[in-house]
Amino acid sequence: MRVLAPERRVDFAAIRKDFPIFQQKAHGKPLIYLDSTATTQKPVAVIEALTHYYRTYNANIHRGVYAIAEEATARYEDVRGKVARILHARSAHEIVFTRGTTESVNLVSNAWGRKNVGAGDVIVLTEMEHHSNLVPWQILAQERGATIRYIPFDGRGKLDLSGLDRLLEGPVKIVSLTHMSNVLGTVNPVAEIARRAHAKGALVFVDAAQSLPHLGVDVQQLDCDFLAFSAHKMLGPTGTGALYGKREHLESMPPFLGGGEMIREVKLEGSTWNEVPWKFEAGTMNIADTIAFGTAIDYIEKIGFHAIAEHSRGLVTETMRALGEIPGVTIYGPPAAERGGIVAFTLDDIHAHDVATVLDHEGVAVRAGHHCAMPLHAKLGVAATTRASFYVYNLPSDIEVLVEGVQKAKQVFHR
């Protein structure tokens, strides 16, 4: 993970005022939103950027020579440069816009995987993967006759790398793993794993859906071959995100989808493809939301990734301390200093959905269930957890309401 220099002191209470959703109430109480791992709320600037596009320069990109079409194209491509900058990519040509992390994984598992993975080959994943970084590889392995191996995690929620060399033996083609678990908050040592995987000739795909918003990432420091994230988890709109890929890999991959924009020339006898990254952007892309995501990047950069990481760590530290004082609460994952802004827990034998329902009536929005990580929960030995996750608009006062709500749930179900 890139070590970022400290930025100026940030007034997060003032930042919260930029988010109009917090002007409303839930069940007559102030809304306390603690589900940012699922999706983040949007500041006014992002909402206005979205509507501004539709009001003033709504046009298709890369095709028109009239003024508003050229403006739309310029603003869309400007975001590609912003994404390359925050990822520390070598070139904007290494950034492919997609609908988000899930589509990015599927793009690579199909376009790269079907070309490079065959019978007897090996794919290495971890036991803590989100379904989006698990199911596409399972489909590929089944189709191609490949085998999947899994890096286990220990009782502290950290990857056990003691057997990694053994897992990397043989025809391992790719290691695909999450940078930060969406349940445990664990920040995985991607750079070390990438170094060891590359030494065995394997590529590395990184799911940065959680890590980029909270910590920032440097793809050159991680030395990953591919990395994916979703805009909606970092203050941007839904339905857009990006795939980073080293240019040599993107150049060698066939297209994922066929149609307009991804072609150079079409004849009845056959077609040739556009250069990267446009080779992977078929049809009319999500122009408005991508442009608005550029505004979200600007907003986050003004705060600073270091400040966001420190803010999240402070909230997680206090949450784990306060919840840990409630008898019957079990918190999963590593210590606060070793995780991102996520705390998943159980309360006695009370189902996570019941805990979340009580919290909802207190105005607190949390996620309950398996969080699209069923194998991880099976390893933990629980069907579901309650998850509180934080971002730039959360304050210490939110934790107080959360803790009071958990105590109330205990009283309701243990009368």
> Catalytic residues, which ones?
372
- Helix ranges (H only) for 253-337 are 287-303, 305-324
Count each helix (H run) and each strand (E run) in the chain, helices first: 16, 17
Contact, 107 vs 238, CB < 8 A? no
Neighbour tally for 17: CB within 10 Å: 13
8 A C-beta contact, residue 190 and residue 207: no
Report the alpha-carbon distance of residue 231 to residue 213 in Å, rounded: 9
Per-residue burial over 254-277, b if 16 or more Cβ lie within 10 Å, else e, is: ebbeeeebbbeeeeeeeeeebebb
User: How many Cβ atoms are within 10 Å of 34's Cβ, its own excluded?
Assistant: 26
Q: Which amino acid is at 312?
A: S
For residue 80, what is the enclosing H or E element? helix 67-87
How far is 49 from 220, CA to CA, in rounded Å? 31
Angle between helices 352-361 and 396-413 (to 10 degrees): 120
Q: Give the separation between CA 331 and CA 251, rounded to whole angstroms.
A: 45
Dist CA 199 CA 202 (whole Å) = 7
Q: Which of 207, 125, 135 is nearest to 164 (CA)?
A: 125
Query: 3-class SS at 389?
Result: strand
First to last CA, the chain: 47
CA 312 to chain centre: 16
Going by C-beta distance under 8 Å and a sequence separation of 6 or more, which residues neighbour residue 182? 37, 130, 209, 210, 342, 371, 372, 373
Number of Cβ within a 10 Å radius of residue 162: 9
Pairing state between β 29-30 and 25-26: antiparallel
Q: Please tell me the distance from the alpha carbon of residue 391 to that of residue 321, in angstroms, as a whole number.
A: 18
Whether residue 329 contacts residue 323, with contact meaning beta carbons closer than 8 Å, is answered with: yes
